[in-house]
Amino acid sequence: MLDDARCALDAGRFDQAIGTLDRLLAASPDHAEGRFLRGTACIDSAHPEKALADLERACALVPRDPRYRYNLAVAHWALGQMGEALACGRAALQCSPDFEPARRLVGAAPVHGERYASLLKRIHEHCRPRTYFEIGVFEGESLRLAAPETRAIGVDPDPKPGALPGPNQSLLRETSDAYFASHDLRAELGGLPVDFAFIDGMHRFEFVLRDFINVERHCAPESIICLHDTYPISRELADRERREYTWTGDVWRALLALKQYRPDLAIDTVAAPPSGLSIVRNLDPRSHVLSDRLESICAQYLDLDYSAVEERKGVLLNLFPNDWEQVRTLLPKPFR
Ligand SMILES: C[S@@+](CC[C@H](N)C(=O)[O-])C[C@H]1O[C@@H](n2cnc3c(N)ncnc32)[C@H](O)[C@@H]1O
């Protein structure tokens, strides 16, 4: 049964893995590896909250296995519980000082405090945008933060069943590129610009850059665009290929490209868990700098290795304290 569950997990068939492990654990509730694998399947299927009980039990049963401690750290990290994540990461290192994933997680300490979704909520409440546009909706956690008075549009080719749009909200089932190719965003916002946008779709650099270009064109100079997952905690998570649930992709490359080619923008990356939230201001909807050079910018930055930022991420990615009183000073006055 354990081997079947491992195979299903490796193949990304999380529900099947969980079903097999449910049967195993019904017969042997104290099977530590079974608990570990079911917790892992919950993390990989984007439900870290369901992983905690299994992983805590696995750690209690076998306290010296660094994998158990590390995955418990990952579950806390994905939930934005950075204090617990760091404690579990350190416990994994006590079990095995060379356990590389735990070293990286503990090294990500600058990211702490309020989770990105709480910060987005505060931004909505402070800025009171008339319009909101979101790329990448998933289960709708961030889309639901928009107030009923805000006209909100979300775009996602594969939103999850819970992602029901609220009043005054639309959810379009398509990629952002397809959306921009066939819709007039401003017209769909009743002729208003996008006051607030959140880009959290495909986490590959060139997609993020295209999304930024397309969104900025529909903004006003005082609008703001937030980019998610801009502060990666490790080389693996910052890669272009997704290997596990917690994946930030190479969004960091987009940030570097924006800094180089658009020095007129103001960019601050708030150190919000799990992996940073960048706020971009001073927008110029008429700028063609990025669209005119898109191909060469992509070639230039795809060539850049993660080691170019690894040691100086804070400076190169414009890290900003995750402290609401300070973040508030970055924001425009309320839109309505
Ligand atoms: C990290 S999730 C979004 C989470 C959501 N913003 C939140 O905070 O609750 C990323 C989503 O982007 C969507 N996605 C992937 N490729 C996309 C694309 N090309 N355009 C728009 N959305 C995309 C995926 O289907 C997935 O649901």
| Residues 120, 95 within the same domain | no
pLDDT of 288: 97
| Residues 79, 178 within the same domain | no
Q: Which of 73, 107, 141 is the C-terminal boundary of a domain? A: 107
Domain residues for 9? Answer: 2-107
Which of 132, 143, 156 best tests ligand 1's pocket when mutated (most atoms within 8 Å of CB)?
156
Nearest CA to ligand 1 atom 7: 142
Burial of 286 (0-12, 13-18, 19+ CB in 10 A): exposed
| Residues 91, 129 within the same domain | no
| Residues 102, 122 within the same domain | no
Tokens representing 215? 């969104």
| Residues 58, 14 within the same domain | yes
Whose tokens are 């979300």? That residue is: 154
Which of 47, 119, 123, 138 best tests ligand 1's pocket when mutated (most atoms within 8 Å of CB)?
138
pTM assigned to the model: 0.76
**Beta-carbon count within 10 A of 87 CB:** 15
pLDDT in tens, 7-55: 998 888 999 999 999 999 999 999 999 999 999 999 988 898 999 999 9
Q: Which of 107, 138, 172 is the C-terminal boundary of a domain? A: 107
| Residues 267, 286 within the same domain | yes
| Residues 50, 164 within the same domain | no
Q: For residue 275, which of 226, 230, 227, 241 has the smallest C-alpha distance?
A: 230
Q: Which of 88, 107, 126 is the C-terminal boundary of a domain? A: 107
Query: What's the number of domains the chain is made of?
Result: 2
Establish if 66 belongs to a structural domain.
yes
pLDDT of 108: 66
For the domain that residue 95 is a member of, what is the CATH number? Answer: 1.25.40.10
| Residues 48, 161 within the same domain | no
Decide if 130 contacts 150 (C-beta within 8 A): yes
Give the sheet arrangement for strand 194-199, strand by strand.
169-172, 151-155, 131-135, 194-199, 219-228, 277-281, 266-270, 319-320
pLDDT of 314: 78
Q: Which residues of the chain register pLDDT less than 50?
A: none
Establish if 333 belongs to a structural domain.
no
**Beta-carbon count within 10 A of 124 CB:** 19
Q: Which residues line ligand 1 (CB under 6 A)?
A: 135-139, 141-142, 155-158, 175-176, 200-202, 207
Helices (H) then strands (E): counts for the chain: 17, 8
| Residues 96, 127 within the same domain | no
Q: For residue 276, which of 236, 311, 327 has the smallest C-alpha distance?
A: 327
| Residues 165, 33 within the same domain | no
For the domain that residue 300 is a member of, what is the CATH number? Answer: 3.40.50.150
Establish if 336 belongs to a structural domain.
no
